Amino acid sequence: MTDQEDKIQMARSKKHVVGRRGFLKGAAVSAAAGAATLVTELPGAQAQTVARPQAPVPSAAAVAREAGPAPVVDVRIIENPASDYMVDVLKALGIEYIASNPGSSFDGLQESIINYGKNTGPEWLTCLHEESSVAMAHGWAKIEGKPSLMPILHGVTGIQHASMAVYNAYVDRVPVLMATGFQLDGGITAHGATDMASIVRGYLKWDHQPTRLDQFSSSMLRAYRLAATPPMAPTMVLLDKHLEQAPLGPNRPALPKLTLPTIPSADIGSLRETAKLLVAAENPRINAGRLARTERGVVLLVELAELLQAPVASVGTNNRVSFPSRHPLAGAGTGQPDLILSLEAGGGSVPGVKTIAITAAEMLATSNYNVLPNSPQADLLIEADGEASLPALIEEVKRLITSDRRRVFQERGVKHADANRQVREQAIANARLGWDGSPISLARLAAELWPLIKNEDWSLVCPQDFISNWPNRLWNMDKLYRHTGGRGAEGMGYGAPAAVGAALANKKYGRLSINIQQDGDLNYAPGVLWTAAHHKIPLLTIMHNNRGYHAEVMFMQRAANLRNRDVDRAHIGTRLIEPNIDYAKMAQGYGMYGEGPIADPAQLVPALKRGLEHVKRGEPALIDVLTQPR
């Protein structure tokens, strides 16, 4: 820009910028002139009456004291900021949403998203807490399988707020791509640091701090790829505010082209040895953990199990669906296994049982924080992606099965199916216990909800461990998205925001999202209810309101019993009572439909139906149900 252009721009800015000092001076002069005019124009008596008490006109010194030092006015107008290019990069990567609690370190990028990008692809989601924004991305990625909902955090404080959610996603092996704004000069000093990602680097797969626009493009591409490539994990790119606000020069960097690498299978030698052992075993069992990344993984595991007529046990109640829950081979089957094939499932060895483990978890062992899944104890440990290894393993198994072995497999398959059927029938019988009790049993809650949703395309978007795994026992979990699994690192505050993120992902597919929500968990960050209401995210939240942190109640009771002391005080520090929390009013306060508390089991189904009516209209709804502790 030439000197003459600078002067013209300065003149334009001065026309439109009114500082506080100028405003106060103008107000003082106008007040004095107005009072004099009134006194002059009105006749005698009226003039005396109107003018009688006149406010003193502040002196120039008083105005100066009130206004403070003259503000430094930034008169630059940048019509083509670098943050516009950043929006184009996000669009090129297919980022659909930005989830963020607003912050001054990325206001330039936010302005570009909502104005230059027209707030679409990506669309801005307003969050009330950084931890909720990352947990929303966690839930989203479990449905979509990719990090296309991106949280943006504000400096050191944003990362600290979000750190538990980042850890959950890391341990859960979920792809979350995050950006973090920072400003080392200006702003609040304590919000900046020279190496902010170090706060969470122990549970990031990769992070980078680009200093140029071309670096931003390549960093975002690499962060996306690494997050979405097994073993999946969170990544972070740091955004310098000055880079966002700089003018975009004539040499616009090229936009990234997103391609993901092919996920490699295990080596063929190891798979041939595995197939040989599986076909020769008399009673093999498959332990499935976080195997399926896509629906194809579920289909492949069914094919392998049916070839071998081997039972498939789901390791852990909080895993996503890797095998249909009502398949005849779903369960531990019958008899002691002589061979266990562990697919993405940690665990120890079983005396006298040969174990083969195929897992990508070992490749993620980059820090002491990598605690789940446990490193498997195996006779044959194959470090590879489980789902990617199944096609070749299936072909090797097919090649080795003879007609005689096939007859043996069919006979044992009938026995396994009968044993698994008996387990399911026992679960149904157990669900009837305490059926008419109040508070309402969790078994009845799950059983009454099932007929209302079973003919819908539904998705359970919450953990199951604190609801005694009743949906998994009573519902037909036949697809990957039927259950999004647990928290990863078991950090509280995950449930509600992850459910909202998963429900947003399900919305485009017309799926019905169900969240059976723990009361203690919701109180960590209930503001996500407002996010759901504001952005019209259809989600049925049913409160598992046992009015306490019941696991801790039991811990206190056990500790007292071990010390031969009274358990009557176990509620101190563990129960959410006196006063009771009204979750229906909480939901209403955040702008969504809320009903309850429901304590009479006869009122449960009508309340659930009313909640579902709101959700099917595209709204979130919350039904508060007083429940048994477990």
Helix (H, G, I), strand (E, B) or coil at 297: helix
Q: Rounded distance, CA 398 to CA 329, Å?
A: 19
Of how many residues is the chain composed? 630
Confidence at 69, pLDDT banded by 50, 70, 90: low
Is residue 361 pLDDT above 70, yes or no? no
- Determine the pLDDT at residue 21: 36
Q: Tell me the pTM.
A: 0.86
DSSP 363: G
CB 601 within 8 A of CB 573: no
Q: Rounded distance, CA 459 to CA 480, Å?
A: 9
Q: Which of 63-67, 274-278, 493-497, 537-541 has the lowest mean pLDDT?
A: 63-67
Confidence at 350, pLDDT banded by 50, 70, 90: confident
CB 100 within 8 A of CB 149: no
Query: What mean pLDDT is predicted for residues 162-183?
Result: 95
- Determine the pLDDT at residue 44: 38
For 589, how many CA atoms within 13 A lie in the half-sphere containing its CB? 8
Q: Which residue's entry shows tokens 């198994």?
A: 397
Query: What mean pLDDT is predicted for residues 609-619?
Result: 98
Is residue 68 pLDDT above 90, yes or no? no
Query: What mean pLDDT is predicted for residues 555-572?
Result: 92
Confidence at 352, pLDDT banded by 50, 70, 90: confident
In the chain, % helix, strand, coil (3-state, to 5) comes to 45, 15, 40
DSSP string, 90-115: HHHTT--EEEE---GGGHHHHHIIII
- Determine the pLDDT at residue 126: 98
362 Cα distance to chain centroid: 24
Please name which of 369, 448, 419, 409 lies closest in space to residue 172, comparing C-alpha atoms: 369
540-545/512-518 β-pairing: parallel
The DSSP element (H or E) to which 605 belongs, if any, is: helix 604-616
Residue 217, class by beta-carbon neighbours within 10 Å (0-12 exposed, 13-18 middle, 19+ buried)?
buried
The strand order across the sheet containing 312-314 reads 312-314, 284-288, 339-343, 354-359, 380-383
The residue among 239 and 346 whose pLDDT is bigger is 239
177-182/284-288 β-pairing: unpaired
- Determine the pLDDT at residue 78: 85
Helix (H, G, I), strand (E, B) or coil at 302: helix
Is residue 363 pLDDT above 70, yes or no? no
Report pLDDT digits (tens) over 511-536.
Answer: 999 999 999 999 999 999 999 999 99
461 Cα distance to chain centroid: 10
Cα 615-617-619 angle, rounded to 5 deg: 50
Report pLDDT digits (tens) over 440-491.
Answer: 999 999 999 999 999 999 999 999 989 999 999 999 999 999 999 999 888 8
Cα 257-262-268 angle, rounded to 5 deg: 165
- Determine the pLDDT at residue 37: 39
- Determine the pLDDT at residue 8: 38
Please name which of 222, 191, 166 lies closest in space to residue 367, comparing C-alpha atoms: 166
The DSSP element (H or E) to which 584 belongs, if any, is: helix 583-589
Contacts of 448 (CB under 8 A, 6+ apart): 601, 604, 605, 608
Confidence at 405, pLDDT banded by 50, 70, 90: very high
Q: Residue 269: phi, psi to the nearest 5? A: -65, -45
> Exposure pattern of 233-267 as b/e (b: 16+ CB <10 Å)?
bbbbbbbbbebbbbebeeeebeebeeeeeeeebbe
Report pLDDT digits (tens) over 120-135.
Answer: 999 999 999 999 999 9
Please name which of 489, 323, 336, 506 lies closest in space to residue 412, comparing C-alpha atoms: 336
The residue among 441 and 9 whose pLDDT is bigger is 441
Is residue 166 pLDDT above 50, yes or no? yes
Q: Rounded distance, CA 476 to CA 323, Å?
A: 11
- Determine the pLDDT at residue 372: 47
- Determine the pLDDT at residue 46: 41
Residue 214, class by beta-carbon neighbours within 10 Å (0-12 exposed, 13-18 middle, 19+ buried)?
middle
CB 197 within 8 A of CB 209: yes
Q: Which tokens go with 199?
A: 């706060």
- Determine the pLDDT at residue 2: 46
Is residue 26 pLDDT above 50, yes or no? no
Is residue 54 pLDDT above 80, yes or no? no
Looking at the chain, the whole-number percentage of residues with pLDDT higher than 90 is: 75
Is residue 4 pLDDT above 80, yes or no? no
Is residue 349 pLDDT above 80, yes or no? no
Q: Which tokens go with 463?
A: 């953990």
Confidence at 314, pLDDT banded by 50, 70, 90: confident
Q: Which of 28-32, 205-209, 317-321 has the lowest mean pLDDT?
A: 28-32
Q: Rounded distance, CA 356 to CA 345, Å?
A: 11
Q: Which of 300-314, 357-371, 480-494, 544-558 has the lowest mean pLDDT?
A: 357-371
Is residue 292 pLDDT above 50, yes or no? yes
Torsion of CA 606, 612, 614, 616, to 10 degrees: -150
- Determine the pLDDT at residue 335: 94
Q: Which tokens go with 554?
A: 């039991």
Average predicted confidence (pLDDT) for the chain = 88
Q: Which tokens go with 623?
A: 């039904």
Tell me the CA distances in angstroms from 292 to 91, 308, 392, 411, 501, one per residue in order.
Answer: 28, 19, 16, 28, 20
AA identity, residue 102? P
DSSP 247: B
485: phi > 0 → left, psi -120 to 50 → alpha, else beta; which?
A: left
Report pLDDT digits (tens) over 411-430.
Answer: 999 999 999 999 999 999 99
Query: What mean pLDDT is predicted for residues 249-254?
Result: 89
Q: Which tokens go with 60?
A: 């120039």
